Structure 1
Amino acid sequence: MQSPLVRRQKGAVLLTSLLILLVLTLLAISGMQGAQLQEKMTSAVRDGQTALEAAEYAVREAEEYLEQNTVTLGNFGTSGGLYTRANAPDPMADTTWSSSDTKSVAATGFPGTLAENPRYFVEYIGITTSAEAPGDLQITNYDDFTGGSKPLGFRIVGWSSGRSGETRRIVESYYGTAK
């Protein structure tokens, strides 16, 4: 004969353990989804930083190009990455960075491989002036007495798409050089 305690059990322990197991499974799935979201956010931030560094690299390469090469004002026009004032393309237009309107820079040393080479264009904006005189680009501590000639002013715009190709960064810099 069975004891009265054994006869009254109808699977309550099994049902309770299954409910606890269900709750633990839901918590584990929720934790994994949170970890995946954080991984995506971290990856996007890293890709954005890489794109920013590559765009800055393109600007530095443009500065080197202006310093190291024989660049005359006759080189500047309406295409090819060197523009006269007000003829530069719109840096916010996607077509600007996918055409021959810009110069490509071979970039190495970045974490991972960049989706596209960084690009830049240079716009000649005129002769710069000292801080006391009106002008478009003013350079402090520089005037007719400190240099042989007034420096030429340039606007340099660099662009990069980062590693994924979905993150884009644009950097704009103003640069003066005496030629």
Structure 2
Amino acid sequence: MKMSLSAVHSQKGISLVVSLLILVMVTLLALSVVNTSIFEERMAGNTRDRSLAFESAEYAMREAQSFLSAAVLPPFTTTGGSTGGYYRDLNTSPTGQTEEVYWRDNHNWTANSVAATKVSGVLSGQTQPRYVIEEYPAISCVGYSKKWPPPPPRNVYKITARGQGGLPNRW
């Protein structure tokens, strides 16, 4: 079977075009894989920072709970006391915003909170977590039991803690 000379000359450039198309498709696939791996790396970093911030805030909350179990507590005032972190009658909605917005955007965490002390090796390389304790009016347990007298009124406290992840611009 003989091919004509014109048929052989017309097929010389098609293999070059097909190989260039395959090369472009492989390049696009490689770029897609690189972009996906970069995105997944960022997601893993964000998850790690979020976990570190949570653990840091949890550490501050545990320290505040330990502080509240002391025999004598400092005075709680509307200005936050001598350390700036022990409040009574704190207005967390001065401009009508929600409490979450107040703690995230408006509260001065540097001046008006208590820095949790770090233990060597705990939360190394991170900014110190901070906490605020609010004292609420004492509540009584009326009608607690018919057999025993009700316990004396107890103070109620609310702890708000803030931790930071590994990167300083993420809270």
**Shorter-normalised TM range:** 0.7 to 0.9
In the alignment, what sits opposite 1:76? 76
Q: Does 1:113 align with 2:121?
A: no
Post-superposition shift, 1:69? 5.8
**Among candidates 152, 162, 167, match of residue 159 of structure 1:** 162
Structure 1 moving runs of 4+ over 6 Å: none
Give me the TM-score of the superposition, normalised by structure 1. 0.70
- Tell me how far apart the structure 2 counterparts of residues 117 and 15 of structure 1 sit (CA, whole Å): 61
1:129/1:64 CA distance change after superposition, 3 Å: same
Pairwise mapping of residues 84-123 of structure 1 onto structure 2 (< 5 A)? 84-86=88-90, 90-97=102-109, 99-107=110-118, 108-110=121-123, 113-114=125-126, 116-123=127-134
Pairwise mapping of residues 1-179 of structure 1 onto structure 2 (< 5 A)? 4=5, 7-68=9-70, 70-72=72-74, 75-77=75-77, 78-79=79-80, 80-86=84-90, 90-97=102-109, 99-107=110-118, 108-110=121-123, 113-114=125-126, 116-130=127-141, 145=149, 147=151, 149-168=152-171
Please give the root-mean-square deviation of Cα atoms over the aligned residues, in Å: 2.8
- Tell me how far apart the structure 2 counterparts of residues 18 and 88 of structure 1 sit (CA, whole Å): 64
1:63/1:88 CA distance change after superposition, 3 Å: farther
Q: Match of 1:82, as an amino acid?
A: Y
- Is there any run of 5+ residues in structure 1 with no aligned partner, and where? 134-139, 169-179
Of 5-14 and 55-64, the range deviating more from structure 2 = 5-14
Post-superposition shift, 1:146? 6.5
- Tell me how far apart the structure 2 counterparts of residues 41 and 57 of structure 1 sit (CA, whole Å): 24
How many residues align? The count is 151
Q: Match of 2:104, as an amino acid?
A: M
Percent of aligned positions that are identical: 28
Post-superposition shift, 1:38? 1.7
1:156/1:95 CA distance change after superposition, 3 Å: closer
Higher strand share: 1
- Tell me how far apart the structure 2 counterparts of residues 86 and 129 of structure 1 sit (CA, whole Å): 22
Q: Match of 1:127, as an amino acid?
A: A
Post-superposition shift, 1:109? 2.5
Is the 1:88–1:123 Cα contact (8 Å) retained in structure 2? no
- Tell me how far apart the structure 2 counterparts of residues 87 and 41 of structure 1 sit (CA, whole Å): 36
